[in-house]
Amino acid sequence: MRQQYQTFSIFVLIMMILVLPKISLSQTTDSLGVQHLGLDIPDKAVINNIFIVGNQKTRKNIILRELNFSTGVTYDWDELISIISADQKKIFNLQLFNSVEITPLITGEDQIEILISVDERRYFIPSVIFELADRNFSEWWTNQNRSFKRVNYGARFYHNNVGGRNEKMRVSAQFGFTQAFDLLYSFPYIDKNQKHGLTTQFSYVTNKTIAVRSAENRQVFYTNEEEDVMRRLFNSSLRYSYRGSFYNFHYVTLGYTNVRIHEDVLIENPNYFLHDDTHLSYFSAGYIYRHDRRNYNSYPTNGALLNFGITKYGLFNSDDFKDWEFTATANRYIKFNDNLHFATGLTLNAFMGKRQPFTSVRGVGYSPNFIRGYELNVIDGQHLAVHKNSFRFKFLDLEYDISNLSPLEGFSTFPIKLYLGANFDHGFVNDRNQIPENKRLTNTHLFGYGPGLDLVIFYDIVFRFEYSMNNHNEGNFFFNFKAPF
């Protein structure tokens, strides 16, 4: 699995921004003003009109889809303010806007207008790929000796709002350690009522160096002397989505996977596949139910996330891999005040079969399942349970005006938030095969703990700086990207 990394220029930009004058100490997405034109705030109110400004590209119906109120309906005032606050976060979580503000305008006795102001992001984003091929930064830095041969480079093009309907397109061409070509196109809604969607994806990946097994709870990589391609992977999928209500999502995915490996791989690991062959292909079908009430998707501080999934590998007799996989995630985010919150998350994963192809191995250490303090390890098995916990205190929340530095629309402000965290994770991986060289960390309780510092900046980018100890008295500094859960 690949984890994406930002280039060194991000850090240079951060240092430059820190010396610029700040323009605000408030979070624009949390603002909720009421304009009353000298009139008293009513106990109840009727919405006459809804006005939207700032949506130059995004179609109005995409924003209206997120609203839990409508015109011509009488609302209790306190209830309406609560609804508006929740809807403001839903619109922001579309990840189409830098900021969202919904303002009730009191225009008469029990009469109001609603003004929705949005600041659109830059939707078409060409970017240079320069990322590490390893599971995380610590794996590359420590286990792989900071080798720049394990770097991916290329170009990636995003368009996150192709026709103004929140369609997403991604095209990438990647070279280096992993050569990959990827195409994704997503239609969030294909019907007038905006409930049904489709996403299709195709990818082709080749590697000259691959992990062929694990030993001592570390990945073992192999490449032959001729530097031949060790693995070729083709994957395609079609996903149907149904959003019947604001917070509930249903996904049905059909996929096809085709993997070809060099014959040397089977010499290094005869059990790389479940059969004595260099070719593995299978169809799969999966269902996921998702309930998402997080206030912010990229770094939630309040709300909850539930995710349940089941996947059937091998739909036909000719398929080379047949198994069932079950997954479940339950995360809760409790906000005590504007600066302090607690995050806790439980993840369960289980294969029904005793053995899986090495390309389908799950466990701790493979994104997104990890236990802090064990970032350098992979712990393979058929069943896992991971419970992650963090107390976080926000001690810095700033926003800077960079409009004089950035010629691009959608990059006029630079927000910075810093959180100090106290973390504790624990879990268990069950390995039915009892592989001797990995028994130190399998089938036993694992835990890790320590302090952390989280940096959250624009476009939902998160940097995590953590020092963690595990229950084997191993401590280290770890640097990660993205929120832990």
309-325 pLDDT, tens per residue?
999 999 999 999 999 99
For residues 65 and 150, membership in a common domain is answered with: no
282 assigned to some structural domain: yes
* Domain CATH number, residue 60: 3.10.20.310
Single residue among 70, 94, 118 that ends a domain in this structure: 118
For residues 102 and 155, membership in a common domain is answered with: no
CA distance 360 to 356: 6
* Domain CATH number, residue 464: 2.40.160.50
How many C-beta atoms lie closer than 10 Å to residue 318's C-beta? 9
Burial 235-257 (b: 16+ CB within 10 A, else e): bebebebebeeebebebebebbb
12 assigned to some structural domain: no
Residue 434 Rama label (left phi>0; alpha psi -120 to 50; beta): left
CB 216 within 8 A of CB 438: yes
CA distance 1 to 366: 7
DSSP-assigned letter for residue 139: I
CA distance 348 to 90: 27
239 assigned to some structural domain: yes
CB 442 within 8 A of CB 381: yes
Using only C-alpha atoms, the chain has a radius of gyration, in whole angstroms, of 24
User: In angstroms, how far is the first alpha carbon of the chain from the final one?
Assistant: 17
Q: Which residue has the tokens 């019947």?
A: 244
For residues 45 and 158, membership in a common domain is answered with: no
CA distance 180 to 206: 7
249 assigned to some structural domain: yes
How many distinct structural domains can be found in the chain? 2
For residues 163 and 311, membership in a common domain is answered with: yes
CA distance 289 to 383: 20
CA distance 421 to 407: 36
Q: Please name the residues in contact with 69: beta carbons below 8 A apart, sequence gap of 6 or more.
A: 47, 75, 80, 83, 84, 87, 114
Single residue among 66, 101, 118 that ends a domain in this structure: 118
For residues 81 and 130, membership in a common domain is answered with: no
317 assigned to some structural domain: yes
How many C-beta atoms lie closer than 10 Å to residue 4's C-beta? 11
279 assigned to some structural domain: yes
Q: What is the pLDDT of residue 1?
A: 39
441 phi and psi angles, rounded to 5 deg: -115, -10
Q: What is the pLDDT of residue 36?
A: 57
Sign of CA dihedral 362, 363, 366, 370: positive
CB 196 within 8 A of CB 242: yes
Single residue among 118, 152, 176 that ends a domain in this structure: 118
For residues 192 and 242, membership in a common domain is answered with: yes
CA distance 258 to 269: 19
Secondary element (H or E) of residue 422 = strand 413-430
* C-alpha dihedral (22, 27, 28, 34), degrees to nearest 10: -120
For residues 314 and 166, membership in a common domain is answered with: yes
Q: What is the pLDDT of residue 410?
A: 58
pTM as predicted: 0.84
For residues 352 and 473, membership in a common domain is answered with: yes
Q: What is the pLDDT of residue 33?
A: 61
For residues 196 and 147, membership in a common domain is answered with: yes
CB 225 within 8 A of CB 204: no
Q: What is the pLDDT of residue 368?
A: 84
Q: What is the pLDDT of residue 84?
A: 93
CA distance 453 to 154: 31
For residues 307 and 412, membership in a common domain is answered with: yes
Q: What is the pLDDT of residue 457?
A: 87
Segments of the chain scoring below 50 in pLDDT: 1-31
Q: What is the pLDDT of residue 32?
A: 57
State which residues form the domain around 56: 31-118
For residues 100 and 172, membership in a common domain is answered with: no
The verdict on whether omega for the bond into residue 300 sits within 30 degrees of 0, i.e. cis, is no
How many C-beta atoms lie closer than 10 Å to residue 228's C-beta? 11
SS3 content of the chain, % helix, strand, coil (to 5): 10, 50, 35
Q: What is the pLDDT of residue 35?
A: 61
Degrees, nearest 5: CA angle 462-420-6: 20
Sign of CA dihedral 432, 437, 443, 449: negative
> What's the token pair of residue 67?
């609203």
Identify the three-state secondary structure at position 112: strand
